[in-house]
Chain A
Amino acid sequence: MDSQTPDTQRWRRVHPLSPLARFWFAILIALFAVGRNFIEDIFEGKTDAESLRNNVVDFLTSLNILAWLGLTLLIVVVLGGMFLNWWFTRFTVTADSVRVRQGWLFRTDKQARLDRVQSIEIFQPFMARLVGLAELRFDVADSGDAALHLQYLRKKDAEALREQLLGRRNAIRAEESASTSLGAEANSAQSAGADQDSDSGRHAAGRPQAGPEVKPHPESETSDMNEAPLASVGPGRAIVSTLLGGTGLWFLVVLCGSLAFGLFLPEVGGFVFVPAILSLVGGVWSSVNTGANFTLTRTCDGFRMRYGLTSTRTRTLPLGRIQAVGIDQPLLWRIPGWFRVRINSAGLGTSSSEEQHRTLLPVGTGQDLMNILPHVVETSEDGGVDGYRLRSALEGSGPENGFVVAPRRSRWLDPFNYRRNGYATTPDLLLLRGGWLRRRLSVVPHERTQSVALESGPLLRRLGLATARLDSVGGEVSTKVEHLATEDVREMIREQAARAAFARRISADTTPGTPTAPRTDTSLTPSEDSATS
């Protein structure tokens, strides 16, 4: 489409140390296999120079010529493989896409269109971090796994490339939306000549024609790394929150169990619990490892999250991609007053490995919550809800704050939380509340409602109750209210369908012709809000 400047077509190689960072574990294993004798001796305490020398001499003399050849061959093959791996890993950045070629015997050639790239993540595994390298991961819509990896670049290069690519992506998207809206206004019938269209769009928008380096958002030019984060989580809070959360409680239970066994049944011993304890320790570690050093920054194209203790990851979450926001608070988090914020977003699954992708804020104070919420949830003057009201809604129960809650007869099903199960609406949002020990509140913009449903089983029907369910896209934020009065659910479903249809129509009016294009701007665009009110 665009004229490709010569330097963008150049194929570049990744950093020469990449194979080391990629295969360090295999290398370690190989070294271990070869040098096992030495290591065993070291562990047995024979570390004095003489026995070491004896060992080496023994080892060398025990090898005949064939073994020597074999060993040399092995080393050559390994080094050669690493070299080839590096030599054949190349990448290039064109005006509208990124392309990575890999492999020598089995070649792969992957290409990702920049305008489809949802986020670019900088990932630093432990070993790569030691040698100062970083990996770039490109997330594309509708794919759970990263579509493209670039392993590895020097950290600084990776960051620069990321900035450059994100800026270019924004430019492409801005052009597209400009051209399509213009086309829709004029006449969308002529589908031919898309290039012309985009050109005229660019002229009409009065943007300087500086090729692919156009950056519509001036903020994106400056690195937003030094912007003040909206929220941050240090290692201390990460550890405490994990211990106070579910994993920590299990840890306590298992520990007590093993102690009890050890005391009262010494013949069995507490050792049966060792695997359980180990796995729990692993769980705690991994959650601390990913949760610590978390910072959340607002950038021009969404949220930027950095997290990780041993390996640092950076993710960007475009705002327009958020389908639902869920706030929850495990029981013991009430003591320090912490919350967790999770999101539903297209392309997210429910597997536990994607937990970080679903989490907007792993653990935060009330203040953090107040900082973040205005960015993801419309404020009350725009037809949404304020942080404070949201928080009181989360913590409250009964019909205050405009909630419609379950009737008294549903106490047979939810003896403790029937007064908490409920929903409330604002002009733009639907709030769903539930949970007793673990409080939760889900916020779904009407515009994002996929489909609504009423469910009722034999028991519920007898009690005159029903469950309302909204279908949301990808993720674990719950979007249903259970066991409300059938009459209330009927009304809610009816009204929600109408509200969703209304919100859709408005958003279709503001973005004509580009229904599937992700909105790069925040979902709080003023034009839309004025249309709502």
Chain B
Amino acid sequence: MNRVFAVLLLVFVSAPQGLAGQSLLGSRGLGLPIEPLDARSRALGSVGVGLLGPALLPTDPASAAGMAFPALEITLQPQWTEGTMGEETDHTQGTRFPVMGFSYPVYSLGGAVTLTMGGFMDQRWELRRESTTELGGTTVPLVEELRSEGGVTTVRLGWAQRLGEDLAIGVGFGSQAGSVSRTFTRTLIDTEPGLEVIPYQVRSEWQYSGLSATLGARWDPVDFLRLAGTATWSSSLKADPSEGTEGDGAEFELPMELRLGASGLLTPNLIMNLGLAYAGWSHSAGGLREEDLAGPVWSFGGGLEWTGTELRSRRIPLRVGARKSDLPFRFAGEDPIETLLAGGIGINLTRPQDLLAGGVDMAVERGRREAGSLVETFWRGTLTIRIASW
């Protein structure tokens, strides 16, 4: 058992920092937002708060209050995107680790400590442009590429505390970290024979730093209903140029994020979840420009979970959900919107009487992002593996 935990811990530590980009929208502003949600939340269209049952979510620090055993969760997320703009079509794909977390209950205090690492902004993208230039009286074709690699991750240390049977609160303190490198390459192709030409390349890199704090609470006013809410404050996000980078640094104002969620038992085996989230992005000198921002960002979502299915004494929850979200950064002057439908399944790999609990949640989403003439449709899978035991 210890060996298994050691292996999983190694995966946790060595995994890439959860940021891969598969959207042109990620080339605007601070990138494409990544929500640190697990596969269950994704399948239910949740905004990440107010789900029934214990969970290990950076968006809801109070949700870990009910966890009886030390637990480890890892989520990975492949995505395939098809983008069209005008008459042109392009395909991108990639994978990311949006959230990883560990919780450890402290029975003497009636709470649990959590450590999570979740994605915040995806800044991995590459733009390509083909052109020509005149060289020695000859027209030479060329390709220009701008590649961005990296992103922003939030590492949080949290505490979830039960206050009686119906109430729990949670706090989380975190640090934003990560880096982004941007490389511009201009390559002449098909030059005259004998002429050796290397690509022109300029690379800059910045390191991110910032702080964040999350406060959350959940309340079960009756047995069949849960209400929850969180507020996340972030300091400004500083981007300091690395050594050798000629570009200036920047300081971005990050918004206060508010999330509200509710879950209710419609029948003993049917759960409904609804939620909304709000973030008030603002521009600042030396940071995000007004024309880059789409304004306040709202997100709504909800879904149903059926828990009545069992296979060989193990529960197999089935989930469906939908969600609509604004995206914070304009693309070509247009406000982008993301809509998606989701479905998923959970597999408990162990029986209730087992001391070791292990499970896998999977979600599949079909989504669409629109911003003016840009339309992206995507398939996104989310896989969460969790294990809990003494």
Q: Do A and B bind each other?
A: no
